[in-house]
Chains A and B, each alone.
Chain A
């Protein structure tokens, strides 16, 4: 099974900051990676797919990059509504797996 390791697991940031979250895969997954945002008590929301393609309706301050085993999610100019937990998911093969999550909190 492919393991996904996210780092950091927790980060504290201020409104306006640039934030970067990393997701590392235990083996190459090409660009078969998605990023989700989840707020407390809510279902996850798709942000990015195919490692770098922004889902329709998602603000352009979100961006994704990477391929193979290392991927990043970047949030430029963090907004109050961005404080949430972020997950990566590999879609290279079954069983599909999620990273452990990165909680972004207000500093």
Chain B
């Protein structure tokens, strides 16, 4: 079946540090890939997405590139802020795919 694997957290960084959260997937065919963010006490909201290989999704300074050859969709940000502290979920979905999520990675950014 389809699956998404993302690095375990928590990831703890100082403000303005570089962020990478790794995500790899296993799927038949070519799903769309997503990153969702969950702030404390809230539901999930879409952060960015990519619908085909080599597409780059970006939003709020975050980026992720759909890499078919490595089946990856790593999330990056050049300079994190305290307000970026949240849980980040990598997911695959689209078409006939049942949405499949990774376990989530908690990010803690210290001033």
Does B bind A?
no
**Which residues of A pack against B, CB within 8 Å?**
none
